[in-house]
Amino acid sequence: MNISRQWLSDYTNITASAQEYEDAMTMSGSKVEATYEPSEEIKNVVAGHVLSIERLPDSDHLWVCQIDVGKDAPLQIVTGADNVKAGDMVPVALHKSRLPGNVKIEKGKIRGVKSEGMLCSLTELKLDLGDFPYASEDGIFIMQEDCKPGDDIRPIIGADDSIVEFEITSNRPDCMSVIGLARESAVTFGTELTIPEPTVKGSGGDIKELLSIEIDNYALCPRYTGRMVKNIKIEPSPKWMRRRLRAAGLRPINNIVDITNYVMLEYGQPMHAFDYSCLDGGKIIVRTAAQGEHMNTLDGTERTLTPDMLVIADGNKPVGIAGVMGGESSEITENTKYAVFESANFNGVSIRRTATALNLRTDASSKFEKGLDIENTLPAVERACELVELLGAGEVVDGIIDIREKHFTPTTLKLEHEKINKLLGTDIDQAFMVATLEKLGFKIDGDTVAVPSWRSDIEHFSDLAEEVARFYGYDVIEPSLHNGTHSGGFTSKQIAERKITGLCRAMGYTEICTYSFVGQTDYDKVALPKDSNLRKGVTILNPLGEDTSIMRTTSLPSMLDALATNWGHRNPEAKLYEMAMIYLDIGEALPDERPILTLGGYGKCDFFEIKGVCETIFREMRVRDVRFTAEKNNPSYHPGRTAAIYSGQTLLGVVGQVHPTVVKNYGISDAFSAQIDFLAMLSCMDEEISYKQLPRFPAITRDIAVVCDLSVTAADLIECIRGSGGGLLRETTLFDVYTGDQVSEGKKSMAFSLKLRSDEQTLTDDYADEMIKNVLDALKTQFDADIR
Amino acid sequence: MKEKLEQLKNEARDALGGANTAPALESLRIKYLGKKGEITAILKQMGSLSAEERPIVGQLANKIREDIECAISEKATELETAALLERLVSEAIDVTIPGKLCSVGRRHPTNIVLDEVKDIFIGMGFEIAEGPEVELSVYDFDKLNIPTTHPAREWTDTFYITEDESVHLRCQTSPVQVRVMEKQRPPIRIISPGRVYRKDEVDASHSPMFHQIEGLVIDKGVTMGDLKGTLNLVVSKLYGENTKTRFRPHHFPFTEPSCEVDVQCVVCGGNGCRTCKQSGWLELLGAGVVHPKVLAGCGIDPDEYSGFAFGIGLDRMTMLRFGIDDLRLLFENDLRFLTQF
């Protein structure tokens, strides 16, 4: 919302500087984004009277002028423009002057002839024909303004105003107007607010004989107010009006249209003017559109309407889309003689939906959609008629048509002064509260507060507290710290999460952050079967695109995407992790959101590296009884290089080499990944740590190597060794696996280091020999493994 | 015999002077002090001495043995020291050659900032609350006093899961507040960080998924002054003791009074720069006194309890913190970016 400070001063006189004004308004709740001061951009430019003009000798396009700028002697200025003649009044940039765009002008010599400044065009003053329709677009600006030589150019061209850009919050549509902001300004600066009631002289006649208005749908149009103007003379509106419209970013069109826009800015009430001669039957009917009804809007576009859209119709057809844009058929033209001013109140949500559906957001719709003051339609239409008379744009027909279903009853609240102070932590006296609220337009009777019609955002005592606080000053409220002891802290789950992610980083894995949504093509890429349950997830009905339409049920595609990104950037190796959710449809209203730790890597990474990372995490997190079993059936992973991870009977996840066809889909050569269910892992952790006495007797270590079939796994042998080794076997470590010339075809050798220790005594070699024999016997019996 | 011993002593001393290696020294030790050594040989002849001479010569012999032992041991130490010095010199390395770095992964920048924020609040007695990302509209809208006609509910703004609009991807972490208030009696002090979703196309400052940190304090007698005091403390811990704040009136449906909190621009210190658009201030968070309707809707008596809430955009905070100019970098997962933090 851009507003001219001069316009504001029609209502309240504020002398604050631009910076003071910005700061104070921002702190009272009307945030100022910026202030534009054209006056700052123009320095030392004055009106000049051209005394004489003649060709510069030896030039076919330059002229030498003698210009009176109100000083003792005229200035000599060389110009290239062809539209200047003696007697003209022109803008003159003097020696050491500045023009918009930080252009500096100094005196100098042109073709050896002294030139003591520059004559300015509209563009050089950042003006255009909208500001001065009579001027020439190309040449020097020949002014028809009331001024004398030497006068500062800025007031003449209206560059003595400041334009303030406000950011208005959605709850304050009343502040999307000059009057609304003037009210806020007056309360902020403690100045007087004067809002004159519009007065219309009228010119006889009776609107009711010319026009009838009917509302079909009060829910969508609670009020419609109309007045008429006759004998219209369409012409440009006066300079002051054009300037204010332009300051607000609107393009001046003609006096009648400009008046409607002017009132919209001033009162915050969007208005529309219809050419009466184009209204069939002299009727205005506010109704919803028929299915498939068509009309052309003012922007020349044909619109197809639907039955949830509100239109303004005449006896036969729609002539405007209510609150959004008028129709071409009833547009004000230079031939318009009779016009109807519409000042109506529409349902904000309906307007918003219509504007969105038609992709047609206008100044009017963006105001209506916030919900406007139902009491404002009448003053606004009166103001428009007052302006018609002021501008001499036409004659106002007597009478008003004002249709509404019910009268406005203000919200009333109790002024609870103590309660407000308690909520704010302040000691503001009641008199200040009353004075502030009254200045804001609230009517106070005892402790009853009647909320003004334009403040539908106020419905609770806490809203009053905010009104008081805004003007008392948020910055004045003393900061305090609430007392009371409270036991905060991380939960054990949060602590575990921090620890695990810390371990990942300690082992070289870098954290990533991927989107929670994927698409079916991502599932294709990781080779999920078409009938996989994982394809049945939570689906977004209105996604940005297919590729972000499903809440992921597996974290693998996201990880592979991240690996592929790095592969694509030629990062030679990557080790990544993410702790984030998957979303499993469990047939309830909300899915099961499960945090998954996903590891992924390529480059200096292999199966045993990534498995080792998992094992280290399990060890450090004290996960019980972890087992890895060959997993041949996961379609995303290499069938011979993948393991399912269990703690006891609980499945924790999967680790393996990503299937060669899957990595190919991502354009990577080889990748490894692990997906671990964080909550499953948490449920398998030993939380208590208890000290075990240090060994008092030495241990005996024996190494054995056995030859067995290739199909026998290390886990099989270790389990057998542990089972047969007796209670004093403390550690069993696989330290070598060999296949090759030294063993026969189809066989492999595996070597283990066994550590025996008793807490009671030093073990004897005989005991160790006996134990080893038991182990070797068991290996022979169960796996036909021979000592090597 | 005395003369012989004295002679032996002088001879040994000279010999030791020339012994420059450990083996040479050892052979001298054997030569003079060994079982078949020269001193022993002399002592064996003690029988030929008179009874008066025998103790005198014996004493002398022992003294000379000790002297030689002592000299040998001194010489041995001397040799060891020399050998050590020589070794140290020969073992010298170029200490400017780079060490062997351990490869360590990095925390995502967003989580670096989040960890800091969490630690600050944990230190103030807060807890971290979590809640679902796929959320019931009751929690994300209705109970937060967001009217059914609010634009945020439009299908153009929010990702919906069900046609009847009862389930969607949460567009803020505020529903966690509601869930906590329904479950836990005051006092409540929580922050709830997490992923949130809004239907924005990806660009340098928008992402359909981003992160928020929501905070909530409910107790008897909590005031707007407490809101200011608490957030000032957080800002001073995040950005330094002397960082100024500015509380500006604003509007949120679930708080009243509401405010936006600006901090003095961390880039220019408040003088005005490109980052703060010359204003000297950076918008950091939205906050306010919890709307009594919201409290009542969660079964907390607004006449007995009051509280404040605040919401921080974590991604923006991260960008400001590290001077990151494009939001997309936070979700692209390029190691060249991630390893900078």
Q: pLDDT (tens digit, 9 = 90+) per residue, A428-454?
A: 999 999 999 999 999 999 999 999 999
Cβ under 8 Å to B: A residues 545-604:
548, 551, 561-562, 565-566, 569, 571, 574-577, 581, 583, 589-591, 593
Residue A706 has pLDDT above 90, yes or no: yes
Separate counts of helices (H) and strands (E) for chain A: 22, 39
- B280 → chain A, closest CA residue: A23
Specify the amino acid at residue B21.
T
Residue A311 has pLDDT above 90, yes or no: yes
Contact call for residues A322 and A351 (beta carbons, < 8 A)? yes
Q: Do A485 and B133 touch (CB under 8 A)?
A: no
Tell me how many residue pairs between chain A and chain B have CB atoms under 8 A apart.
231
B135/A contact by beta carbon, under 8 A: yes
Q: Looking up tokens 């940190």, which residue turns up?
A: B213
3-state per-residue secondary structure call for A731-770: EEEEEEEECCCCCCCCEEEEEEEEEECCCCCCCCHHHHHH
Contact call for residues A166 and A30 (beta carbons, < 8 A)? yes
- Give per-residue pLDDT as tens, A82-100: 899 999 999 999 999 999 8
Question: pLDDT-derived band of residue A501, with 50, 70 and 90 as boundaries?
Answer: very high
Q: Do B134 and A28 touch (CB under 8 A)?
A: no
Domain ranges of chain B: 2-90, 109-338
Residue A127 has pLDDT above 90, yes or no: no
Closest to A710 in 3D by CA, of A744, A668, A663, A755: A744
Q: What is the mean pLDDT of residues A219-223?
A: 96
CA distance B341 to B20: 60
Q: What confidence score (pLDDT) does residue A361 get?
A: 92
Contact call for residues A481 and B229 (beta carbons, < 8 A)? yes
Q: Do B161 and A510 touch (CB under 8 A)?
A: no
- In degrees to the nearest 10, what's the CA dihedral of A119, A123, A125, A127? 130
- DSSP tag of A268: S
Q: What confidence score (pLDDT) does residue A730 get?
A: 93
A734/B contact by beta carbon, under 8 A: no
CB atoms within 10 A of CB A528: 21
Residue A131 has pLDDT above 90, yes or no: no
Q: What confidence score (pLDDT) does residue A81 get?
A: 87
Contact call for residues A655 and A611 (beta carbons, < 8 A)? yes
CATH code of the domain made up of B109-338: 3.30.930.10
CA distance A388 to B104: 76
Q: Mean pLDDT check: name the lowest of A643-647, A650-654, A771-775, B31-35.
A: B31-35
Q: What confidence score (pLDDT) does residue A483 get?
A: 73
Length of chain A: 788
List, as one string, the DSSP characters of A487-506: --B--HHHHHHHHHHHHHHH
Which pair of tokens denotes residue A588? 């309830």
Dihedral sign computed on CA atoms, order A18, A22, A25, A30: positive
**Angle of helix A417-424 relative to helix A461-472, nearest 10 degrees?**
70
Q: What is the mean pLDDT of residues A99-109?
A: 90
Q: Which residues of B touch A517 (CB under 8 A)?
A: 208-209
Contact call for residues A65 and A119 (beta carbons, < 8 A)? yes
- Give per-residue pLDDT as tens, B137-167: 999 999 998 988 888 899 999 999 999 999 9
Phi first, then psi: what are they for A420, rounded to 5°?
-65, -45
User: Does this complex have an ipTM over 0.90?
Assistant: no
Determine which of B333, B334, B336 to mutate to test the interface with A (most A C-beta atoms within 10 Å). Answer: B333
Residue B306 Cα distances to A307, A424, A481, B247, angstroms: 46, 10, 14, 19
- A573 → chain B, closest CA residue: B335
CA distance A782 to A761: 32
Q: Which carries the bigger pLDDT value, residue B265 or residue A684?
A: A684
Residue A467 Cα distances to A29, A220, A438, B285, angstroms: 9, 30, 11, 21
Q: What confidence score (pLDDT) does residue A59 get?
A: 83
- B218 → chain A, closest CA residue: A482
Q: Mean pLDDT check: name the lowest of A56-60, A612-616, B91-95.
A: A56-60
CA A149 to chain centre: 52
Q: What confidence score (pLDDT) does residue B5 get?
A: 80
B186 in helix, strand or coil?
coil
Q: Mean pLDDT check: name the lowest of A477-486, A540-549, A618-627.
A: A477-486
Q: What confidence score (pLDDT) does residue B88 get?
A: 95
Q: Report which secondary-structure segment, H or E, holds A51.
A: strand A43-55
Question: pLDDT-derived band of residue A758, with 50, 70 and 90 as boundaries?
Answer: very high
Q: What confidence score (pLDDT) does residue B62 get?
A: 84
Residue A482 has pLDDT above 90, yes or no: no
Question: pLDDT-derived band of residue A687, with 50, 70 and 90 as boundaries?
Answer: confident
Closest to A325 in 3D by CA, of A273, A388, A282, A262: A273
Q: What confidence score (pLDDT) does residue A287 get?
A: 96
Residue A137 has pLDDT above 90, yes or no: no
CB atoms within 10 A of CB A690: 5
Specify the amino acid at residue A587.
G
**Which residues, at least 6 apart from A386, have a Cβ–Cβ distance to it below 8 Å?**
A198, A199, A200
Per-chain mean pLDDT for chain B? 91
CA distance B341 to B333: 13
B272/A contact by beta carbon, under 8 A: no
Q: Do B108 and A484 touch (CB under 8 A)?
A: no
pTM for this entry = 0.85
Q: Which of B108, B149, B159 is nearest residue A513 as measured by Cβ atoms?
A: B108
Q: What confidence score (pLDDT) does residue A462 get?
A: 93
Q: Do A565 and B232 touch (CB under 8 A)?
A: no
B162/A contact by beta carbon, under 8 A: yes
CB atoms within 10 A of CB A161: 20
Q: What confidence score (pLDDT) does residue A26 get?
A: 95
Q: Do B257 and A27 touch (CB under 8 A)?
A: no
Which residues are A64's β-sheet partners? Answer: A54, A78
Q: Which of A31, A494, A505 is nearest residue B106 as measured by Cβ atoms?
A: A505
Q: Which residues of chain B have pLDDT under 50?
A: none
Domains of chain A: 2-37+162-189 (3.30.56.10), 39-157 (2.40.50.140), 207-404 (3.50.40.10), 412-472 (3.30.56.10), 492-683 (3.30.930.10), 700-787 (3.30.70.380)
Contact call for residues A788 and A744 (beta carbons, < 8 A)? no
